Amino acid sequence: MKAIILAAGQGTRIRTAHGECPKCLIRFDHSGWTILDQQIEGLFLAGVRDIGIVVGYEQDQIIRHVTRYYGSQLRRFRFIENSEFAATNNIYSLWRARTWLQGSSFAVLNADVVFDTRVLQPAVSSRAPITMIVDPAWRDETMKVVIERNRIVRMSKQIGQHEFSATYIGITMVDGAANAKLFDRIEVLIARGEHRVFFNAAVQELADEGLHVGYSETKGLPWAEIDDPSDLAFARLNVFPKLARIPVAA
């Protein structure tokens, strides 16, 4: 299995708290451990062998960080540029990785999500064509899902608290058998000019056509999506202190 981290965005809403730095390089503490490190170490622990990182905004900072801290394992990384990061959303970043991901099962992560690494394994082990990791609890300002008959049938930020089933945490697994279907649908959306939407728009269309979109739950384990200063404050208080660093074997 591969993983692709979508890290091209500008993160404009959090610059007052973090400055001119990609969100994935937000530090947990004075040790210098970052969101990106936590994702990389969790993915390696879950059995992911190769990690692609789609870069754009301040991409040199990300490349330097990975080169510095994972230099002995650099063969396991691939940097993929989204030069249109200022005018596109994560659907286009994922599209840029299509050749590298071709035919593979893969995990796709938004670069601003931190999580207890134990949430990954149930999703990695899922037999569904596509699996989204969700939290049954409500969180403001995040994508929600509606679940019916043990599958996700709707996903949107506009789903209200009266109808939601769970909150999507920003991590999705795609089975190799669903790879081509997903990228074919992304291609259609981009051809229609819909390059400013989330890639979940393609997943929604596939679900509407009957593709089984499964889910796994966080089961109370800590996570946070960090879009703005209030999210960062929440993560520093409730999530960062609960996450332990895991040494990565060469």
Mean pLDDT by 10-residue block, N- to C-terminus, for the chain (250 residues)?
A: 96 77 88 92 95 97 96 96 96 98 98 96 96 96 96 97 97 98 98 96 98 98 94 92 74
User: What CATH architecture is 2-242?
Assistant: Alpha-Beta Complex (3.90)
Statement: the pTM of the whole predicted model exceeds 0.85: yes
Distance CA 125, CA 133 (A): 12
Distance CA 190, CA 202 (A): 10
- Tens of pLDDT, residue by residue over 7-26, are 999 888 787 777 788 999 99
